[in-house]
Amino acid sequence: GVKGRARVCSPDAESDNPRFFAPDGIAVNFFIENWLLITVAFVSGGMLVWPLARGGGGAGAVGASEAVRLMNREKAVLIDVSEPREFDASHAAQARNVPIGQLETSKDLPTNKALPVVVVCPTGARSGRAAATLRKMGYANARALAGGTAAWRDAGLPVEKSGTAAA
């Protein structure tokens, strides 16, 4: 062969480094040589799709403004799953305190399971789990407040401390 020129391989060409071709002419070696890249692409794609599949579409977290809209237009109930001392220190106005450990036995949850329920905690870490628990209990419209009480406060919405208005 001529030096410096690319060697074109075909299924019948003899070579020290044979390339395998699929019947339609696409190099199978591309997949063999780039298996790690292909695997990373599939895994990252799966990680993007997983929250949609797991959360059931519209059951994701909502922002503070969406929570207020749900409360005003659809009579959503705001449930704070903080522990009582956290709730007393700071909570969103109009929130009912139902600690996460007492969700399944609480009488403070709305009896109408069709009403939207917005679940909040101080940081938003527990509210996602609590919303999932409520959905399993039949509250199909249970959603977590993204960012928790901190996001509620940052949006300029009223926060209370031990029953008195703080903001």
Q: What is the pTM of this model?
A: 0.62
User: What integer is the mean pLDDT of 122-130?
Assistant: 88
Name the token pair of 82. 């903080």
Residue 53 has pLDDT above 80, yes or no: no
Compute the distance between CA of residue 83 and CA of residue 75 in angstroms, rounded to an integer. 25
User: What integer is the mean pLDDT of 4-17?
Assistant: 53
Q: Which residue in the block uniquely carries the two structure tokens 């794609």?
A: 45
User: What integer is the mean pLDDT of 77-84?
Assistant: 94
Q: What is the pLDDT of residue 46?
A: 87
Residue 48 has pLDDT above 90, yes or no: no
Residue 101 has pLDDT above 80, yes or no: yes
More confident residue, 162 or 20: 162
User: What integer is the mean pLDDT of 46-62?
Assistant: 66
* Ranges 9-18, 45-54, 56-65: which has the least confidence: 9-18
Q: What is the pLDDT of residue 47?
A: 85
Whether the CA torsion 52, 68, 166, 119 is positive or negative: it is negative
More confident residue, 166 or 110: 110
Residue 7 has pLDDT above 80, yes or no: no
Look at residues 93, 160, 165, 83 and name the one whose alpha carbon lies nearest to residue 125. 83
Under the banding of pLDDT at 50, 70 and 90, the label for residue 57 is very low
Under the banding of pLDDT at 50, 70 and 90, the label for residue 9 is low
